[in-house]
Amino acid sequence: MKPVIALVGRPNVGKSTLFNRFTKSRDAIVADFAGLTRDRHYGDGRLGRREYIVIDTGGFEPTAETGIIKEMAKQTRQAVAEADVVVFVVDARAGLSAQDHDIARFLRTAGKKVLLAVNKAEGMVDAPQLAEFHELGIGEPHPVSAAHGQGMRSLLEAALADFPDDEDMDEGGPDADRPIRLAVAGRPNVGKSTLINAWLGEERLVAFDMPGTTRDAISVPFERAGQKFELIDTAGLRRKGKVFEAIEKFSVVKTLQAIADANVVLLLLDATQGVSDQDAHIAGYILESGRAVVLAVNKWDAIDGYQREMLQRSIESRLSFLKFAPLLNISALKRQGFGPLWKALAQAHASAFKKLPTPQLTRLIIDAAQHQTPKRVGAFRPKMRYAHQGGMNPPIVVIHGNCLEHLTDVYKRYLEGRIRAHFDLTGTPMRIEVRSGDNPFDER
């Protein structure tokens, strides 16, 4: 699973700027006044081949007892509980404060690996001002400058030092003698627990806790029709005797980790609640992660014809970017629709790992160009010469030719449609990359 790094500190020490550096984004709003960040903010980052999740938090006041400050402190405590590594950010220019000591006292009892990042320390690597931060009892200070990007790599390497590299991650293709890793994602109370318990009860399988490398991640191995699956649960399965109970407590970080670990994601929607912003956010993360996905509408039997029509329209408008994903209607409580659901999950997994032969891809794009020529841009018209597969899960098609940087997104979607139809790719996102050859007459 991806390790989780939480950024903690008092207001206006540069946590959000550090978050943007770690995620190579501008997702966190940065301004020169305190209290801008209030809720937990999640983002993805990568150092080489190692991926991780970063949590940005608001200004932390552990002793706060009332108002918005207390709620912000509650959010920060939750982030620390979810994290594998906590980066405690302090301000080199402002020096130590009583609030820093309060935070350090809390972190020393949290039982987490803690790194001390002394921010705004441009040109202060060996400065005597850093010595005072040893008072916190957290360990060796890491002088960094989030605004200028100084010290970022060494801080990240220290944070990820205890976690394995992802070089040996198995592709988990359909031909490999490994189970299909299936994640069940969705909002609280959509029926994830009921569905999981129905599967386990129907198949009468023995389930067990499988300890992970960074934390005790719980997975449920089971087999259906000769196919082995490994269920990665986002609801937090807990063992109680011989019965598994699923605690419906939505954890953002657990969902992100489960999606990243999975081969296929089942996104469960609630027919009685419609499609929410949270559903759309989870769906967007699945698409960004490149995971195969199947949509299932639970509690379908609990709504009438008019509600079903409105729900269908809501799905088409709010989840339009998942048009490639099969949509099935089920009732976990009554165990209805499970057969078609399992078939769709297996087909999505097979599509994600399908081999696309180079001769077939090349003929396909040439035929597509003859049927609909790419739009001319100035004096140039893109010309596609050949294509090959560049990766799986999701399938990546690399097209070579001339002036392909001028291919429009509309034309790429047209090519994607042709490729999907030819190879019957359903339930998996697909990416098209273009490589243009150098023009030998450019210098003339």
pLDDT tens-digit readout, 398-430? 999 988 888 888 999 999 999 999 999 999 999
pLDDT band at 397 (very low <50, low <70, confident <90, very high): very high
Tell me which DSSP letter residue 112 carries.
Answer: S
**For position 245, what pLDDT does the model report?**
36
Q: Which residue has the tokens 């999981």?
A: 196
**For position 363, what pLDDT does the model report?**
94
Q: Which residue has the tokens 């970063």?
A: 54
Q: Which helix (H) or strand (E) holds 296?
A: strand 292-298
CA proximity to 58, closest of 83, 82, 39:
39
Beta carbons of 412 and 432 less than 8 angstroms apart: yes
Residue 322 scores a pLDDT above 60: yes
Interior/surface letters 140-170, b for 16+ CB within 10 angstroms, e for the rest: ebbbbbbeeebbbeebbebbbeebeeeeeee
Residue 430 CB contacts under 8 Å (≥ 6 apart), including other chains:
324, 394, 395, 396, 397, 416, 419, 420
What does the alpha-carbon distance between residue 89 and residue 103 come to, in Å, rounded to a whole number?
10
**For position 48, what pLDDT does the model report?**
83
**For position 438, what pLDDT does the model report?**
60
Tell me which DSSP letter residue 376 carries.
Answer: P
Helix ranges, 262-372 (H): 277-289, 305-318, 338-352, 358-371
Q: Residues 199-219: pLDDT tens digits?
A: 877 433 333 334 333 333 456
What does the alpha-carbon distance between residue 28 and residue 9 come to, in Å, rounded to a whole number?
15
Q: Residues 106-118: pLDDT tens digits?
A: 998 888 899 999 9
**For position 241, what pLDDT does the model report?**
39
Q: Which helix (H) or strand (E) holds 381?
A: none
Kindly tell me the sign of the dihedral angle through the C-alpha atoms of 9, 15, 18, 22: positive
**48 φ, ψ (degrees, to nearest 5):** 65, -120
**For position 185, what pLDDT does the model report?**
86
Token pair for 262:
């999975």
Beta carbons of 402 and 376 less than 8 angstroms apart: no
Q: Residues 351-365: pLDDT tens digits?
A: 999 999 999 999 999
**CA angle in degrees (0–180, nearest 5) for 53-71-77:** 45
**For position 248, what pLDDT does the model report?**
31
**For position 237, what pLDDT does the model report?**
39
pLDDT band at 148 (very low <50, low <70, confident <90, very high): confident
Where residue 424 falls (left for φ over 0; alpha for ψ -120 to 50; beta otherwise) is: left
Beta carbons of 371 and 343 less than 8 angstroms apart: no
Residue 391 CB contacts under 8 Å (≥ 6 apart), including other chains:
none
Residue 294 scores a pLDDT above 90: yes
**For position 172, what pLDDT does the model report?**
46
Q: Which helix (H) or strand (E) holds 418?
A: helix 409-423
pLDDT band at 58 (very low <50, low <70, confident <90, very high): confident
Total length of the chain: 444
Residue 50 scores a pLDDT above 80: yes
Mean pLDDT computed over every residue of the chain: 80
Domains, the chain, with CATH or none = 4-159 (3.40.50.300), 180-352 (3.40.50.300), 358-436 (3.30.300.20)
**3-state SS string for 191-211:** CHHHHHHHHHHHHCCCCCCCC
Residue 340 scores a pLDDT above 90: yes
Q: Which helix (H) or strand (E) holds 246?
A: strand 243-246
Interior/surface letters 20-36, b for 16+ CB within 10 angstroms, e for the rest: bbbbeeeebebeeeeeb
Q: Residues 221-243: pLDDT tens digits?
A: 777 777 788 887 665 433 333 33
Residue 43 scores a pLDDT above 50: yes
Residue 131 scores a pLDDT above 90: no
Which residues is 363 bridged to in the sheet? none
